[in-house]
Amino acid sequence: MTSDTPEKSLSLKQRFDRWMIKHGRVLVIGIPYVWLFLFFLVPFLIVLKISFAMAEYAQPPYSSLFDWIEEGVTVTLNFGNYLFLLSDNLYATAYLNSIRIAAISTVITLLIGYPMAYGIARARGSVRSILLMLVILPFWTSFLIRVYAWIGILDREGLINAFLLWTGIITEPLIMRQTEGAVFVGIVYTYLPFMILPLYSTLEKMDVSLIEAALDLGCKPWKAFLKVTLPLSMPGVLAGSLLVFIPSVGEFVIPELLGGPNTLMIGRTLWNEFFANRDWPIASAVAIAMLVFLVVPIMWFQHIQTKQEERQS
């Protein structure tokens, strides 16, 4: 190496190389870091701030926390929004209802998805890839349109009612849309692919000879399934359930389009506070509460999961 080369004689490319080796690492980390910091983390701090403000008829519709008076800055924290969330049991009900609806839907999705995933994993090669494609295809089509499809089926003037009236089984149309049942159908329908795919990938990777060994050792087929297949597919069950549960808890579109006015879910409540009541501080307080009671536990759970997987491997 010739260290006595003067800086000036370096070509542009050499200078760039030197600069990249010295600063490249910082640059590669820095760009996504700054973006996510600015557009993901900072917004939450603002939400937190506004959740302590009071609603006002102004633009924007909330009071400022900081007042510039002559001696300096005074900060007025208004805990009223949080107290209001506690006092009106609409919010607690919506929160618990979201968890209940999401949990029930997840179980139904698992019950429908598991046999399907198992069937696909045991199918012959070419059939398997076609079936898998059929599972993935709805995932790429519009979510909104898939929910919409059920309006036409479950509506008062929808296909099921029309069919049943035509056969004469019923004389009055059934109310199926705008019920909690319709919300279950909507969630199961839209999130079924999310359940099948991780289940399929664990079941497909599983060594068939393990089941053969169980059968060889005298296990009956259903028992071999319970004792070997099911325990070994638990990672897939867990992954699929999380993929269904997490987005359905905060769901807005499905309860709005298929649920009734009484189908309270926390995402819908937040939406209404914001768009219908134009109460930004209360909406912010709901968001912070959701964050603390929903997102943080989920992330903590996932963190523990990955830690455990790392330890096992």
Q: Which of residues 63-92 bind another protein (CB under 8 A)?
A: none
Please give the size of the binding site for another protein, defined by CB under 8 A: 88
- Applying CB under 8 A, the span of 2-10, 31-39, 74-82, 88-96 interacting with another protein comes to 31-39
Q: Is 164 in the site for another protein (CB under 8 A)?
A: no
Q: Is 258 in the site for another protein (CB under 8 A)?
A: no
14, 299, 304, 308: which one binds another protein (CB under 8 A) = 299
60, 87, 278, 292: which one binds another protein (CB under 8 A) = 60
Q: Which of 40, 49, 37 is nearest to 285 (CA)?
A: 49
- Applying CB under 8 A, the span of 2-10, 84-92, 142-150, 229-237 interacting with another protein comes to 142-150
Q: Is 276 in the site for another protein (CB under 8 A)?
A: no
Which residues, in sequence order, are bridge partners of residue 72? 69
Q: Which is nearer to another protein, 71 or 261 (CB)?
A: 261
- Chain centroid to Cα 190, Å, comes to 12
Question: Please, which residues have CB within 8 angstroms of residue 306's CB and are 6 or more apart in sequence?
Answer: none
Q: Is 46 in the site for another protein (CB under 8 A)?
A: yes
Alpha-helix residue ranges (DSSP H) falling in 155-207 = 159-167, 180-205
For residue 193, how many C-alpha atoms fall within 13 Å in the half-sphere facing its CB? 14
Q: Is 260 in the site for another protein (CB under 8 A)?
A: no
Q: Which is nearer to another protein, 135 or 197 (CB)?
A: 135
Q: Is 295 in the site for another protein (CB under 8 A)?
A: yes
Q: Give the three-class secondary structure for 74.
A: strand
Q: Is 155 in the site for another protein (CB under 8 A)?
A: yes
- Chain centroid to Cα 247, Å, comes to 2
Cα–Cα distance, 153 to 159 (Å, whole number): 5
Q: Which is nearer to another protein, 154 or 180 (CB)?
A: 154
135, 187, 239, 264: which one binds another protein (CB under 8 A) = 135
User: 146: burial class by Cβ within 10 Å (0-12, 13-18, 19+)?
Assistant: middle
